Amino acid sequence: MIMRWLAMMLALVCLSAQAQVPMILMPTPLGSILTVYSYLSKEQKKIYYAKVTSHGTTFAEAKTNGFKLAVEKAIGPLILSEAESNNGRLTRDQIISYSAGMVDKFEITSQTQNSQGWTIVMEVWVTHSNIAARLMSDSATAGNINGAELGARVQTLLDERNTGDHVVENISRDYATRAYDIELKPARVDFDNRRNVQIIVPFTVDMNYSYAVALYESMNITAQAPVRCVNWEYVRNGARETRECQTQRSGQYHFAISMKPADRWQFWNGRVTFDDPKKLQVFARAVAAPLALSLTILDNAGQVVARACHDLAPYTGKIVTYYQHNNTLQIEQGRGVAGEIAFSFRQDHAQISRLGAQQARVMPLNQCRT
């Protein structure tokens, strides 16, 4: 039996603006942080400064490791740890570290090379990546481009996006086995027009609340800031967004969720935005894999009397919906979708009298057997 567990821990470095907070940390294989603090720039943009020592077999690797150290220690990482075992034997162990930060600029103060590789000391300035929509904004002037700074921005921003994809992929991997709860209702007896007996088993499908929370958190921590257009044009019937704003909005993708804890009567709504469709595509691939409700009826001795595989697409399609007109993936958790499965027992009342239990589970459709 395969068992998987996910543990998520968010560690944030909270530093006061304008005040230096020195941090002497234990070294890692990448290097070590010498100092880190934060301040506000003239544009009211929060900047994190870090001085790092980093190592690598090549100069480029040492520089990349320094960037990773600076971003993780300044912004704070989300650590996603996942392990998978089969019959007590560890088959996969993976740790993903994600930080929503980008190198704004950097200066190399010293560099040395020995037989094991390179050691670099750098001063690195880091910002949150969700304010970095225009990478060229202050890395270029008329006739000049600061290629080193621009390259560092692109490199760390792409690393942030790629590791964010891995976070969503790990949550999506459990979709087939953990995303849905099945609630079985009391069975009822019915007859067809030939007086054959049918056992009708009503059920309700709903997304598991804990899975919905984990999915939202993975989307929320990897999101970008939504476009907030301030440019309006005035027409006869009032104001409307300019064509430029409308174009920017059409290039954004949204994840929206409505969910309800079991002990609350009210729903909670969340919404996050991305400037590319990759996160939604990752989850959509998991949703596209057909699921089945495997329903088994047992007799009083625990023997299988009847089994059915019921396609769940008509039910999950009402829980997970993609609205193409506004690029929004919508999750509706907590409301449930009702259905029922009928078993024919003809006129075998003796077999019916021995029925004892019913069991249900969600699984990939191609693994379901009757």
Which tens digit of pLDDT belongs to each residue from 223-237? 777 777 766 665 556
For residue range 190-233, what is the model confidence (pLDDT) as tens digits? 887 777 888 899 999 999 998 898 888 888 877 777 777 766 66
pTM of the model: 0.63
Q: What angle do CA 170, 176, 177 make, to 5 degrees?
A: 90
Q: Model confidence over 309-357: pLDDT tens digits?
A: 999 999 999 999 999 988 999 999 999 999 999 888 877 777 777 888 8
Better pLDDT: 232 or 173: 173
**18 confidence band (pLDDT: 50, 70, 90):** very low
Over 80: is that where the pLDDT of 240 sits?
Answer: no
Residue 83 in this model has a pLDDT that exceeds 60: no
Do 203 and 185 meet the contact criterion of CB atoms below 8 Å apart?
yes
261 or 283, which is more confident?
A: 283
Residue 355: Cβ-neighbour burial (10 angstroms; 0-12, 13-18, 19+)? middle
- pLDDT at residue 98 above 50? yes
Band the pLDDT of 15: cuts 50, 70, 90: very low
Nearest to 344 by CA among 204, 183, 195: 195
**Residues 269-285: pLDDT tens digits?**
999 898 889 889 999 99
Q: Hey, how many other C-beta atoms are within 10 angstroms of the C-beta on 361? A: 13
DSSP conformational letter for 23: -
Residue 337's pLDDT is 94
Predicted pLDDT of residue 140:
43
Once rounded to an integer, what is the mean pLDDT over residues 132-158?
53
Q: Does pLDDT of 184 surpass 80? A: yes
Burial class (CB in 10 A: 0-12, 13-18, 19+), 255: buried
